[in-house]
Amino acid sequence: MVISERGRKFLKEVKLTVGAVTAQVGRLRVEIDVYPPDRRKRDIDNVCKATLDALAKAGVYQDDSQIDVLLITRMGIVSGGCLEVKVEKVKHESKQRKASKVSKDLDLRRAGSRQVDVGKSVSKPDIFKSRRRDS
Protein backbone atom coordinates (compact mmCIF):
# COMPACT_ATOMS: atom_id res chain seq x y z
CA MET A 1 0.00 0.00 0.00
CA VAL A 2 1.27 3.45 -0.90
CA ILE A 3 0.84 6.16 1.74
CA SER A 4 0.71 9.78 0.58
CA GLU A 5 3.08 12.43 1.92
CA ARG A 6 0.20 13.86 3.95
CA GLY A 7 -0.54 10.39 5.35
CA ARG A 8 3.12 9.83 6.28
CA LYS A 9 3.16 13.22 8.05
CA PHE A 10 0.00 12.30 10.00
CA LEU A 11 1.50 8.94 11.01
CA LYS A 12 4.69 10.66 12.19
CA GLU A 13 2.67 13.16 14.25
CA VAL A 14 0.67 10.37 15.85
CA LYS A 15 3.83 8.44 16.74
CA LEU A 16 5.40 11.57 18.27
CA THR A 17 2.25 12.36 20.23
CA VAL A 18 1.82 8.82 21.53
CA GLY A 19 5.49 8.34 22.43
CA ALA A 20 6.79 5.04 23.78
CA VAL A 21 3.92 2.73 24.74
CA THR A 22 3.29 -0.94 25.34
CA ALA A 23 0.70 -2.24 22.90
CA GLN A 24 -2.70 -3.00 24.41
CA VAL A 25 -3.81 -6.61 24.09
CA GLY A 26 -7.34 -7.97 24.14
CA ARG A 27 -10.62 -6.36 23.14
CA LEU A 28 -10.71 -2.55 23.08
CA ARG A 29 -13.00 0.46 23.18
CA VAL A 30 -11.88 3.57 21.27
CA GLU A 31 -13.44 7.01 21.61
CA ILE A 32 -12.47 9.71 19.13
CA ASP A 33 -13.50 13.32 19.70
CA VAL A 34 -13.18 15.26 16.45
CA TYR A 35 -12.57 19.00 16.74
CA PRO A 36 -12.90 20.35 13.17
CA PRO A 37 -10.82 23.36 12.08
CA ASP A 38 -13.80 25.21 10.60
CA ARG A 39 -17.54 25.03 9.88
CA ARG A 40 -17.23 23.31 6.50
CA LYS A 41 -19.38 20.22 6.02
CA ARG A 42 -17.37 17.03 6.58
CA ASP A 43 -18.07 13.39 7.34
CA ILE A 44 -16.56 12.52 10.71
CA ASP A 45 -16.48 8.81 9.86
CA ASN A 46 -13.68 9.57 7.37
CA VAL A 47 -11.42 10.28 10.34
CA CYS A 48 -11.59 6.69 11.57
CA LYS A 49 -9.53 4.56 9.21
CA ALA A 50 -6.41 6.73 9.10
CA THR A 51 -6.54 7.38 12.85
CA LEU A 52 -7.04 3.75 13.84
CA ASP A 53 -4.30 2.54 11.48
CA ALA A 54 -1.90 5.23 12.72
CA LEU A 55 -2.54 4.24 16.35
CA ALA A 56 -1.76 0.61 15.48
CA LYS A 57 1.46 1.62 13.69
CA ALA A 58 2.38 3.82 16.67
CA GLY A 59 2.11 0.73 18.91
CA VAL A 60 -0.99 1.67 20.91
CA TYR A 61 -2.50 -1.73 20.07
CA GLN A 62 -1.47 -4.65 17.90
CA ASP A 63 -4.18 -4.33 15.27
CA ASP A 64 -7.37 -2.34 14.82
CA SER A 65 -9.30 -5.62 14.59
CA GLN A 66 -9.07 -5.62 18.43
CA ILE A 67 -11.62 -2.80 18.55
CA ASP A 68 -15.10 -3.92 19.63
CA VAL A 69 -16.52 -0.49 20.49
CA LEU A 70 -15.90 2.67 18.47
CA LEU A 71 -17.42 6.03 19.37
CA ILE A 72 -16.86 9.13 17.23
CA THR A 73 -18.13 12.51 18.42
CA ARG A 74 -18.02 15.86 16.63
CA MET A 75 -16.97 18.55 19.07
CA GLY A 76 -16.53 22.31 18.78
CA ILE A 77 -14.31 24.08 16.29
CA VAL A 78 -10.62 24.37 17.20
CA SER A 79 -8.16 26.40 15.13
CA GLY A 80 -6.20 23.91 13.02
CA GLY A 81 -8.47 21.05 14.10
CA CYS A 82 -7.49 18.19 16.39
CA LEU A 83 -8.49 14.78 17.68
CA GLU A 84 -8.74 13.48 21.22
CA VAL A 85 -8.53 9.70 21.43
CA LYS A 86 -9.21 7.42 24.37
CA VAL A 87 -8.34 3.71 24.21
CA GLU A 88 -9.38 1.32 26.94
CA LYS A 89 -10.05 -2.36 27.46
CA VAL A 90 -13.64 -3.43 26.89
CA LYS A 91 -15.67 -4.35 29.92
CA HIS A 92 -17.92 -6.99 28.35
CA GLU A 93 -21.43 -7.41 29.66
CA SER A 94 -22.65 -10.87 30.52
CA LYS A 95 -23.99 -12.84 27.55
CA GLN A 96 -27.45 -13.02 29.12
CA ARG A 97 -27.62 -9.24 29.60
CA LYS A 98 -26.39 -8.67 26.04
CA ALA A 99 -29.02 -11.02 24.63
CA SER A 100 -31.73 -9.25 26.60
CA LYS A 101 -30.53 -5.85 25.43
CA VAL A 102 -30.43 -6.95 21.78
CA SER A 103 -33.93 -8.40 21.88
CA LYS A 104 -35.23 -5.31 23.65
CA ASP A 105 -33.52 -2.55 21.65
CA LEU A 106 -32.24 -3.88 18.36
CA ASP A 107 -33.90 -7.12 17.32
CA LEU A 108 -35.83 -6.24 14.19
CA ARG A 109 -36.64 -9.86 13.38
CA ARG A 110 -39.45 -9.99 15.94
CA ALA A 111 -40.78 -6.47 15.53
CA GLY A 112 -42.82 -5.42 12.53
CA SER A 113 -41.85 -1.81 13.20
CA ARG A 114 -39.60 0.17 15.48
CA GLN A 115 -39.81 3.62 17.00
CA VAL A 116 -36.91 5.73 15.75
CA ASP A 117 -35.35 8.83 17.29
CA VAL A 118 -37.37 11.31 15.25
CA GLY A 119 -40.63 9.96 16.65
CA LYS A 120 -41.91 8.09 13.61
CA SER A 121 -42.61 4.41 13.39
CA VAL A 122 -41.05 2.84 10.31
CA SER A 123 -41.20 -0.61 8.82
CA LYS A 124 -38.15 -2.89 8.69
CA PRO A 125 -37.01 -2.00 5.15
CA ASP A 126 -36.94 1.72 6.03
CA ILE A 127 -35.18 1.42 9.39
CA PHE A 128 -31.88 2.89 8.17
CA LYS A 129 -33.36 5.68 6.07
CA SER A 130 -33.13 9.21 7.40
CA ARG A 131 -36.47 10.64 8.49
CA ARG A 132 -37.45 14.24 9.29
CA ARG A 133 -40.16 15.19 11.73
CA ASP A 134 -43.17 16.80 10.06
CA SER A 135 -43.70 20.45 11.01
Query: Contact at 8 Å (CB) between 27 and 68?
Result: yes
In a domain, 75, yes or no: yes
Please report whether residue 116 resides in a domain.
Answer: no
* Backbone phi, psi, residue 108, to 5°: -85, -5
Domain enclosing residue 50, as ranges: 5-92
Could you report the per-residue pLDDT of 23-44, keeping only the tens digit for each? 899 999 999 999 999 999 989 8
pLDDT tens digits for range 98-126: 555 554 445 444 444 443 444 333 333 33
Residue 108 lies in a domain: no
Rounded to two decimals, the pTM is 0.64
Asked if the structure places residue 42 within a domain, the reply is: yes
Domain count of the fold of the chain? 1
Quick one: pLDDT band at residue 130, thresholds 50, 70, 90?
very low
CA atoms within 13 A on the CB side of 16: 6
pLDDT at position 131: 41
pLDDT of res. 99: 52
Q: Which residues pair with 87 in a beta bridge?
A: 30
The 3-state secondary structure of the chain reads CCCCHHHHHHHHHHHHHHCCCCCECCCEEEEEEEECCCCCCCCCCHHHHHHHHHHHHCCCECCHHHEEEEEEEECCCCCCCEEEEEEEECCCCCHHHHHHHHHHHHCCCCCCEEECCCCCEEEHHHCCCCCCCCC
| Residue 19 belongs to a domain | yes
The CATH number given to whatever domain includes residue 78 is: 3.30.1330.70
Residue 102 in domain: no
Question: Within a domain: residue 33?
Answer: yes
* Residue 26 maps to a domain: yes
